[in-house]
Amino acid sequence: MGRFLRMAFIYRLTPNATRPLRLSADSLPTATAFHQLPLAMAIYKTFGHQLTHTGVSLALQQSDDGLYRIGNEFWSHEEGVGHRRVLAANIGRDNRRYGRLLRTDAITEDQGIAVDFRFDRGNRYAANAEDCHHVIVSGFRPNESVVAYISVEDGDIDLWTTEAPTAVPPASLTDRFPTSEPLWRCVLRRFELESDVIDRRRVVG
């Protein structure tokens, strides 16, 4: 969880807190909490109340219908601290290499952190919920100041980063984002997607 806290600081989700993030004894989860919630949610609950985004609290909250939410459902899609999608590649859901990346557990610790989730469009009983996959390649290691990740969903592979561009189009992705680009490329190369995504696709930001 400490890795994700590093990213929270980069995204400036802790405006009233300084490193290290300090927790009171009252905020630590009880044994009951660990039985009621998945482990990651129980741990997040201990510090989520110290995170905010554009004035919205990111505390884990339970609504009257029993569902849990963090902030509001759209907060993570707003612009963060220079957070931008810089490349979009439609590979296709039926592409074998796309499927391998979507379902992989083979991301090594030195390459990144793989995060799986399902998008049910607000209906937790949806039969056609979409499987999604993010690979965080930067921002979780000590002394990193840039968050970068690969988004894999709906047949698309998109590249996101908080890195400020060092050049303008038509400069290459390598020249514009020298910190993020080699990390994206390293992961995509393992799945034979490096050329299709980075070298042949549309730069959007």
Which domain covers residue 36, as residue numbers? 2-77
Do both 99 and 61 map to the same domain?
no
Q: Is the pTM of this model over 0.85?
A: no
Buried b (16+ CB within 10 A) or exposed e, 142-158: eebebbbbbbbbeebbb
Query: Is 90 exceeded by the pLDDT of residue 127?
Result: no
Report d(CA 158, CA 197) in Å as an integer.
8
Do both 113 and 199 map to the same domain?
yes
Do both 13 and 110 map to the same domain?
no
Do both 69 and 89 map to the same domain?
no
Query: Residue 132: which region, alpha, beta or left (left: phi > 0; alpha: psi -120 to 50)?
Result: beta
Query: Is 70 exceeded by the pLDDT of residue 125?
Result: no
Q: What is the pLDDT of residues 53-112, one digit of tens each?
A: 878 888 888 877 777 788 765 555 554 566 889 999 999 999 999 999 998 877 888 899
Do both 93 and 73 map to the same domain?
no
